[in-house]
Structure 1
């Protein structure tokens, strides 16, 4: 795409719906840094009248929903004033302990077999169980949340039904916490002094949970895949933990879980990288494309092959959490990193000789243009006894 079209690419979504995919680093920075010209206001979209009601990507786009993800301007800031303190109230040491406990419980379920499929048995359930705990869900609802969010993100025929079921769980959580509040994100949101409706609470919780689950699951899966297939990390599987953070950072640059975000909408006619963008046109944020823009790596990191040292020396100038006014809140990033890193470290501590059970080039990805995660990650290891973690 970059070779044939440059940094701003004309693309078609399912049903021949036109959009622009921004894959240039500088161009994506320009779009995300200008919320007036490129607001996250899907109500501006000039294609709404052409879409069928069952268009499968409707849940990924949204239409003027009163949540932190879709509001703009002063209304967006109002939601952030409620959401950010609720997330900042998550105690990191306690969260790490929960994650280690939950990880041990999941590993106990397969450690005696000597083999496992890490996506379904570990990478997917761990983040949702941890998020369910901090948001205020009962642990027993974790598997249902896992299934609905996976169906939703893949954008297939089950997406609309999954979205309705998912939102229904959020309304139930709001009602439960209004009746019996606790020390959790949902209760802190409800205790915020500014008035919000039940719809706003439920949709904010929907956005936070959806944004936190599969990207974190894929961060775990993609990082473990890298460590099991790249010789640079093989020594760390039986050695120290220092390479876990390096692998996680490299994944954010080169194999980011969130590949594309939808999106931004042009507030008026404008130009971007020589492309005429019409008022109401949708711009898809090509986070993965921008992260891999060879111009930036050649100019910014000095690598002759376009893979400078910035990938592996802790540089975090990637777009994996987006950028600008609508980027992922810092507290949410910290929560995701604690969940992912705890999960990887516990896995390697418990199963130090874990190896892939199939050839690396046979591994496949889920059929989603938006999120990049493994379909399966089959592994084998020496059978080990359970430690009695919570299942």
Structure 2
């Protein structure tokens, strides 16, 4: 397939249509092109969109053919210096871009460190953090739950998992929160401060180890260097923050707008797990993942893929593939086969999904326990980028509660 044909047939994976109805666009792409489709990323940069469940499983399973090191990409010369998707594709020293034995060494150490987290203690910490957040607005009778609640708990909890003292964690959360809707320059400045904070944290844990993720990484037999530990801690913090935040927000939004789940708000916690699972199937926070690069010419889903071509992993689209899951919500309860956390050796490292679920589930449960008469005060407004989907705002009203 020539570049001219690819650009002629390619579907823009950005713009108004994507912002308003990404799920509809995914279905249209699959119907028109099949499980692998030519698309254009922002700036009309060509790529392949893997939207079939089986094809996505194949790509994520075969890390030798569909590799993670994006320096192989054959279109770098067409990418401008200010391209907004650069942060997702520029190679960096984190575990996200490693391959082969090196990746297994790094990912294994990170998984072992995350597995050391006491999940019961994490749930207790999340409950305490959630209560503290609710105490701040419970008496007002109204709140904007994305900024005042959902976005603050994952970063606070993850910082504590990393052994950041609570006082420093609060400063870190406020710093990151203040940068989210500001300029790129300010966001980069915050990222630089986070790097400095993580370096100080690693230095402290080397001198005085504790029961936390960086201490386990320092002691791991993989013999990780400071740069490796620093970059992987930043990955954990940032990924846990944004994706778990949107998982919480999307779930609360679903429970406030879906009559099937409305009883949960007044009747208890019984359906929270189902709502969290349904969000992963139908409004998963990580919509797409950038990406994989073909290491040689091959065929996938009826398309000819050239060596160096970029593949976008359509996680949300694969979850909706009618070849593996019928339309609607039937079959999602208890079904954990969604692609929302990726798959294969480059998927979300175990047990990160379990830890994220503890944070999200506890956050939603505490909220509905404390404020059972929550009512949405505005229509939901979605923020849909090529890689994530979440709510811009989540304004609610409720009966004010006195906090002593």
What TM-score results when the alignment is normalised by the length of structure 1? Answer: 0.90
Q: Distance in 2 between matches of 1:153 and 1:91?
A: 33
Q: Is the 8 A contact 1:149 1:210 kept in 2?
A: no
Q: What is the number of residues matched between the two proteins?
A: 375
Distance in 1 (alpha carbons) for counterparts of 2:181 and 2:298: 31
User: Is this contact kept in 2: 1:224–1:344, CA < 8 A?
Assistant: yes
Residue 32 to residue 99, structure 1, CA distance change in 2 (3 Å)? same
Match of 1:194 in 2: 222
What are the Cα deviations for residues 254-305 of structure 1, in whole angstroms up to 9, with x where unaligned? 010110111111010111112111111111111001111122224xxxxxxx
1:126-172 residue CA offsets vs partner (Å, 9 max, x unmatched): 01000010012233344545664896799967665554444343333
Contact 2:152–2:173 (8 Å) recurs in 1: no
Residue of structure 2 equivalent to 1:301: none
Deviation at 1:374, TM superposition (A): 0.4
Alignment map for 1:152-231 (pairs within 5 Å): 160-231=188-259
Of residues 152, 155, 163 in structure 2, which corresponds to 1:136?
163
Residue 71 (structure 1) aligns with: 98
The correspondence for 2:331, drawn from 305, 310, 317, is: 310
Residues in 2 aligned to 1:155 and 1:316: alpha-carbon distance in whole angstroms? 38
State the match for 2:69 in structure 1: 41
Structure 2: 5+ residue stretches without partners:
1-28
Aligned to 1:381: 398
Alpha carbons of 1:276 and 1:152: their partners in 2 closer, same or farther (altered >3 Å)? farther
Alpha-carbon distance in 1 for matches of 2:342, 2:264: 30
TM-score (structure 2 length as normaliser): 0.87
Instruction: Measure, in 2, the Cα distance between the counterparts of 1:179 and 1:149.
Output: 30
What's the counterpart of residue 343 of structure 1?
363
Matched, 1:297 2:325: yes
Match of residue 334 from structure 1 = 354
Question: In 2, Cα distance between the equivalents of 1:88 and 1:256?
Answer: 24
Please state how far the C-alpha of 1:241 moved relative to its aligned partner. Answer: 1.3
Does residue 1:354 correspond to 2:374, yes or no?
Answer: yes
Q: Is the 8 A contact 2:106 2:222 kept in 1?
A: no
Per the alignment, do residues 159 and 56 of structure 1 end up closer, same or farther by CA in structure 2, a change over 3 Å counting? farther
Q: Is the 8 A contact 2:160 2:169 kept in 1?
A: no
Q: SS state of the match for residue 309, structure 1?
A: coil
The question of 1:269 aligning with 2:289 is answered no
Give 3-state SS (helix, strand or coil) of 1:297's partner. Answer: coil
Q: Deviations over 1:349-385 (max 9, x none)?
A: 0001111012xxx321225221111000000100112
2:277 to 241, 249, 257: 249
- Pick closer, same or farther for the CA change 1:30–1:159 going to 2, 3 Å: farther
Structure 1: unaligned runs, 5 residues or longer:
299-305
* Correspondence 1:57-136 to 2 at 5 A: 57-63=85-91, 65-136=92-163
Q: 1:285/1:202 Cα in 2 relative to 1: closer, same or farther (>3 Å)?
A: same
Distance 1:348 1:154, change over 3 A: same
Tell whether the 8 Å contact from 2:134 to 2:367 is kept in structure 1 after alignment: yes
Asked if the contact 2:217/2:224 (under 8 Å) is kept, the reply is no
3-state DSSP of counterpart to 2:286:
coil
Partner of 1:325: 345
> Over residues 62-97 of structure 1, what are the superposed CA-to-partner deviations in whole Å (9 max), with x where a residue is unaligned?
31x332211010000111231111101110111111
